[in-house]
A and B are shown apart, each in its own frame.
Chain A
Amino acid sequence: MIRVEELEKHFGALHVLKGVSLEVQKGEVLVIIGPSGSGKSTLLRCINLLIEPDSGRVFLDGTQVNRRDIRPEWVRQQVGMVFQSFNLFAHLTALQNVTLGPIRVLGTDPTTAGAQGRKLLARVGLADKADAYPAQLSGGQQQRVAIARALAMNPKAMLFDEPTSALDPEYIREVLDAMAALARDGMTMIVVTHEMGFASEVAKRILFMDAGRIIEEGSPEEIFHSPKQERTRMFVGKILR
């Protein structure tokens, strides 16, 4: 479904991605963990081409998509993204947040988009918040609206960049539940998160990233309980504590 080969990215003199390769099958959930600044966010942003990689190839369904003749907008429609800081459109209600993409990008007529949007909000448990503005929602509710907004584009895969790390503890559960439900429905997902419980439950594979490289890959069991690399062991030790 998604394949990445030898991705390189510099920010000025900073070498952030040093030849990252990975592959995710259809319906698979891949979790990425790693210390701050290791390039996890940059990797996700390269996959949906929010950032142009310096070199390397990104494949979607077997087609290389980081090419001049493919519009990055088209790629982003296929791959939804959920951000750490929600980034809901502040001037739009929850429902309008969800329907903006379908109406303006896909050209869906507003009535259909509205009906679909309400269904999606109901799916993340927010049927009654359709007309609330982001500032009137809790963090957990905002993040669930953000998930619905990404789903509204009917994406083939979803990227989550630390979706719960900006949340108060009492709201983390509801967001993770919504993501787990999505995984059960067969969504292909790449999730950057340090929620070990979620990772163990939902993911088949975990990647450990450090300093722009993938250091280790394995099942949750392997990564969390018997990591092979010293660096993985140290990092996992820190987040387990």
Chain B
Amino acid sequence: MPATFDEQRRSRVRIVDILLAILVTVGILAYILDVLALRWGLSTAYIGRSYPNYLKAAWISLYVTTIAYFIGMGIGFVLGWARSVRTLPLARVMAARRREAVAAADGGSPGAGLFLGTLLVYGIKYYVRRTADAYVAIIRGTPLFVQIVFVWSAVLVFYPRLDPLVQGLLAGVIALTANTGGYQSEIFRAGIQTVHSGQVEAGRAIGLSRWGAMRYIVLPQAVRLVIPPLTNEYIGLLKASSLLAVVGSVPELTTFGRSEAFQTFHIFEAFALVVGIYLLITVPVSKVVEWIERRYRIPGLGIQAPRTARV
């Protein structure tokens, strides 16, 4: 495609934008470095010596976050799907079955089994949905901090003999998984519900099953819609994993930084490292996802303009 004059001008503007952004960032960083290193005497020796330990701590943060994130994704998808399905009042379902049974009566007697079966299937669906609603309300309506402290206390009480590290990891992974599961279910529910109902109907009309329509039509479209909020959720969860500092026995990045700060009194060096490493993870993650998003973008579907990520 030949680049039009307009496109050329736009790409020139873009380059200027990027250069400006780099200039500003470098300026701010230089200023901070100047303040920290020269006026406050930031110890580069300490940083050079101990940054590998910080990286190790960051790996723990990443592991905990990633495990919780992907288990939470399973939970979130199932709950989100359950919550996106419209359920009818039981009375109406039973009335429809009764009408059907009467209609089929000339073919045979309507067994009580039909009604019991409907009641069972319907009851399960209804309570799965209600439970999912309640779960999400609790997760979203209470502080993550409280959830972590609660799970941690429960682990301490019920498994007092476990190694403190294992106790902490267990509590952390459970609390973060439960939390992100609740939030991701909201993301999936929105994604699934945003896919137009006509799409499902057209899929069903060519003979796809309910699951087939979900698998081949709703999910591929929903995935493109949920990638940005899911990225934000991952970044948010990584940041939230710093709350595990309250547990103390898991040497994740924040916990490690805090203990180093208190033990070595290199407070600014310690937190410069902590902050730097968090940024080193979150910024590239959102960049990579942005790239993936652009790569798989489909004309006319989902977000067309570049998104802004909350970092």
Q: Could you say which of B102, B206, B224, B299 contacts A105, with CB atoms under 8 Å apart?
A: B206
Q: Could you say which of B92, B104, B107, B202 contacts A12, with CB atoms under 8 Å apart?
A: B92
Q: Do A55 and B99 touch across chains, with their CB atoms under 8 A apart?
A: yes
Measured CB to CB, the closest approach of chain B to A202, in angstroms, equals 22
Residues of B within 8 A of A133 (CB): 298-301
8 Å CB interface, B275-311 against A: 298-301
Q: Could you say which of B99, B205, B300 contacts A135, with CB atoms under 8 Å apart?
A: B300
Q: A88 CA to B205 CA in the complex, in Å?
A: 12
Q: Do A135 and B301 touch across chains, with their CB atoms under 8 A apart?
A: yes
Residues of B within 8 A of A91 (CB): 217, 220-221, 224, 298, 301
Q: A19 CA to B209 CA in the complex, in Å?
A: 29
Q: Do B298 and A90 touch across chains, with their CB atoms under 8 A apart?
A: yes
Q: Does A153 contact B (CB under 8 A)?
A: yes
Q: Do A76 and B207 touch across chains, with their CB atoms under 8 A apart?
A: yes
Q: Does B216 contact A (CB under 8 A)?
A: yes
Given A67-B104, A105-B212, A150-B206, the answer on whether A135 and B299 have CB atoms closer than 8 Å is: yes
Q: Does B204 contact A (CB under 8 A)?
A: yes
Residues of A within 8 A of B196 (CB): 87, 90
Q: Does B208 contact A (CB under 8 A)?
A: yes
Q: A67 CA to B208 CA in the complex, in Å?
A: 18
Interface residues as binary, A36-70 with B (CB distance below 8 Å gives 1, 0 otherwise): 00000000000010101011110000000001100
Q: Does B100 contact A (CB under 8 A)?
A: yes
Interface residues as binary, B195-228 with A (CB distance below 8 Å gives 1, 0 otherwise): 0101101111111110010001100110010000
Q: Do A101 and B206 touch across chains, with their CB atoms under 8 A apart?
A: yes
Q: Do A134 and B300 touch across chains, with their CB atoms under 8 A apart?
A: yes
Q: Which of B92, B107, B201 has the most CB of A within 10 A?
A: B201
Q: Do A54 and B96 touch across chains, with their CB atoms under 8 A apart?
A: yes
Task: Closest B residue to A84 by CB, please name it.
Answer: B198
Residues of B within 8 A of A118 (CB): none
Q: Do A87 and B198 touch across chains, with their CB atoms under 8 A apart?
A: yes
Q: Could you say which of B103, B198, B201, B203 contacts A55, with CB atoms under 8 Å apart?
A: B103
Interface residues as binary, A132-161 with B (CB distance below 8 Å gives 1, 0 otherwise): 011110000000001001101100000000
Q: Could you say which of B100, B206, B220, B301 contacts A77, with CB atoms under 8 Å apart?
A: B206
Q: Do A73 and B92 touch across chains, with their CB atoms under 8 A apart?
A: no
Q: Could you say which of A55, A77, A134 contacts B102, with CB atoms under 8 Å apart?
A: A55
Q: Do A89 and B217 touch across chains, with their CB atoms under 8 A apart?
A: yes
Q: Do B205 and A89 touch across chains, with their CB atoms under 8 A apart?
A: no
Q: A56 CA to B208 CA in the complex, in Å?
A: 25
Residues of A within 8 A of B199 (CB): 87, 89-90
Residues of A within 8 A of B100 (CB): 52, 54-55
**Range of interface residues on A (Cβ < 8 Å):** 35 or more
8 Å CB interface, B81-112 against A: 92, 96, 99-100, 102-104, 107
Q: A163 CA to B301 CA in the complex, in Å?
A: 23
Q: Does A100 contact B (CB under 8 A)?
A: yes
Q: Does A235 contact B (CB under 8 A)?
A: no
Residues of A within 8 A of B224 (CB): 91
Measured CB to CB, the closest approach of chain B to A102, in angstroms, equals 9
Q: A106 CA to B209 CA in the complex, in Å?
A: 12
Q: Do A50 and B104 touch across chains, with their CB atoms under 8 A apart?
A: no
Q: Do B221 and A54 touch across chains, with their CB atoms under 8 A apart?
A: no
Q: Could you say which of B99, B202, B212, B298 contacts A54, with CB atoms under 8 Å apart?
A: B99
18 additional contacts (CB under 8 A) given A50-B204, A87-B202, A90-B300: A12-B92, A50-B201, A52-B96, A54-B99, A76-B204, A76-B207, A77-B207, A80-B206, A87-B199, A88-B202, A89-B199, A91-B224, A91-B301, A101-B208, A133-B300, A135-B299, A136-B299, A153-B206
Q: List 24 A-B contacts (CB under 8 A).
A: A54-B100, A54-B103, A67-B104, A73-B204, A73-B207, A74-B207, A77-B206, A80-B205, A81-B202, A81-B205, A87-B196, A89-B203, A89-B217, A90-B298, A91-B220, A91-B221, A91-B298, A100-B206, A101-B206, A101-B207, A105-B207, A133-B300, A134-B300, A135-B298
Residues of chain B touching chain A, judged by Cβ–Cβ distance below 8 Å, are 92, 96, 99-100, 102-104, 107, 196, 198-199, 201-209, 212, 216-217, 220-221, 224, 298-301
List 4 tightest A-B contacts by C-beta distance, closest first.
A135-B300, A55-B103, A101-B206, A87-B202
